[in-house]
Amino acid sequence: MAQEGGPRSPEVLSNEQAPREAAWLTWKSAEVDGRAAVYGEAGDGPPVVFLHGWGLDHKAYKRALSRMVGDGVRVIAPALPGFGGTDGLPYKANDLGAFVEWVESFLDVVGVTEPVLLMGHSFGGGVAVRFAYDHPDRTRALVLVNSIGGSAWTHRGSTIRSMAQRPLWDWGIHLPADLLPLRQARRVLPVIVAEALPSLVRDPRAFWSAAGVARRSDLTVELDEIRRRGLPVVVLWGRNDRLVTKDSFEAMCLALGNPHVVTVEGSHSWLIGDPDAFGEVMTNVLDVVGMADRERK
């Protein structure tokens, strides 16, 4: 055990019952920068770090992430600050850079020293982009799933409206569309309610602060630099997403130059609604990343 005030060694919280074919993540706790942190972990092999979307936490993706363990990787899924039992960031730390610093400290605490395949969904994708930009030596490849960071919200003719111009009511009005069709809503809605409400009650300031960070995020400069460096990037997008719009998705791809793009049927939370499809897609994505690694050597 480290001295008081330093990083605390991870400790197991609990295991969940799981079907034999699923390699469930084990939930653990640690201390990052003097604050409590919670994360899931499973598997052996090259590290894959998954950063969740706003309002959710690592447990919301347990079925989807469990499909990846069989591909020979070590999956690590932290609950970001303010969510899922992880303490929020200091009061004035309310930008993506602060989340990136936390992820860097978290990786040190859990003993990940080699470059990681960094995945992010929605808000977590924005954190992943900024992390890859700030820490190229710690990033092996980037996988962005319905990620924020594209500069455009929508366009009419030649007029492009930025994501920062998007009013809060428009985010909210499209949330029901993300939960349709009904088959997906029955799976996704209970997960969102079960994971989001405890975080909102526990730390409402951190909950809404992260929403503001997501709304303001234009990562064009960072994406362009990532393109220039030649980092392998895979962009996944659900074609029915109304939260991260088609214009935003296309702006991200344009800034990245020529990423490997996979589009699927589904809305913003398609990987939660259809974890089997996500597992199949990720098997192919890991092959793509492996080929990119060999080409770079």
Its domain, for residue 18, covers 8-296
Asked if residue 134 lies in contact with residue 110, where contact means CB atoms within 8 angstroms, the answer is: no
pLDDT (tens digit, 9 = 90+) per residue, 9-31?
455 444 443 333 446 789 999 99
Q: What is the pLDDT of residue 15?
A: 40
Domain count of the chain?
Answer: 1
**Residue 2 is assigned to a structural domain of this protein:** no
Q: For residues 227-253, give the mean pLDDT.
A: 89
Q: What is the pLDDT of residue 1?
A: 34
User: Average pLDDT, whole number, for the chain?
Assistant: 77
pLDDT at 126 over 60: yes
**Residue 1 is assigned to a structural domain of this protein:** no
Looking from the CA of 19 toward its CB, the CA atoms found within 13 Å total: 6
Between 158 and 94, where is the model more confident?
94
Asked if residue 233 lies in contact with residue 141, where contact means CB atoms within 8 angstroms, the answer is: yes
Q: What is the pLDDT of residue 53?
A: 84
Confidence of residue 205 (pLDDT cuts 50, 70, 90): low
Between 174 and 151, where is the model more confident?
151
**Residue 179 is assigned to a structural domain of this protein:** yes
Q: For residues 73-94, give the mean pLDDT.
A: 86
pLDDT at 261 over 90: yes
Report how far residue 204's alpha carbon sits from residue 199's, in angstroms, rounded to the nearest whole number.
7
**Residue 248 is assigned to a structural domain of this protein:** yes
**Residue 3 is assigned to a structural domain of this protein:** no
Q: What is the pLDDT of residue 51?
A: 95
Report how far residue 8's alpha carbon sits from residue 13's, in angstroms, rounded to the nearest whole number.
14
Confidence of residue 198 (pLDDT cuts 50, 70, 90): low
Q: What is the pLDDT of residue 171?
A: 47
pLDDT (tens digit, 9 = 90+) per residue, 98-124?
999 999 999 999 999 999 999 999 889
pLDDT (tens digit, 9 = 90+) per residue, 63-79?
888 888 888 899 999 99
**Residue 233 is assigned to a structural domain of this protein:** yes
CATH number of the domain to which 75 belongs? 3.40.50.1820
Amino acid at 65: L
Q: How far is CA 47 from the centre of its chain?
A: 15
Which residue has tokens 């393109």?
227
Q: For residues 190-211, give the mean pLDDT.
A: 53
Asked if residue 223 lies in contact with residue 149, where contact means CB atoms within 8 angstroms, the answer is: yes
Between 112 and 242, where is the model more confident?
112
Q: How far is CA 242 from the centre of its chain?
A: 18
Distance set, CA 127 to CA 102, 104, 220, 282 (Å) = 10, 11, 13, 20
Q: For residues 275-289, give the mean pLDDT.
A: 85
Q: What is the distance between the terminal CA atoms of the chain, rounded to a whole angstrom?
A: 39
Quick one: which of 282, 276, 232, 260 has its CA closest to 72? Answer: 282
**pTM of the full predicted structure?**
0.78
Q: For residues 273-287, give the mean pLDDT.
A: 85
Task: Name the token pair of 95.
Answer: 């930008």
pLDDT at 211 over 60: no
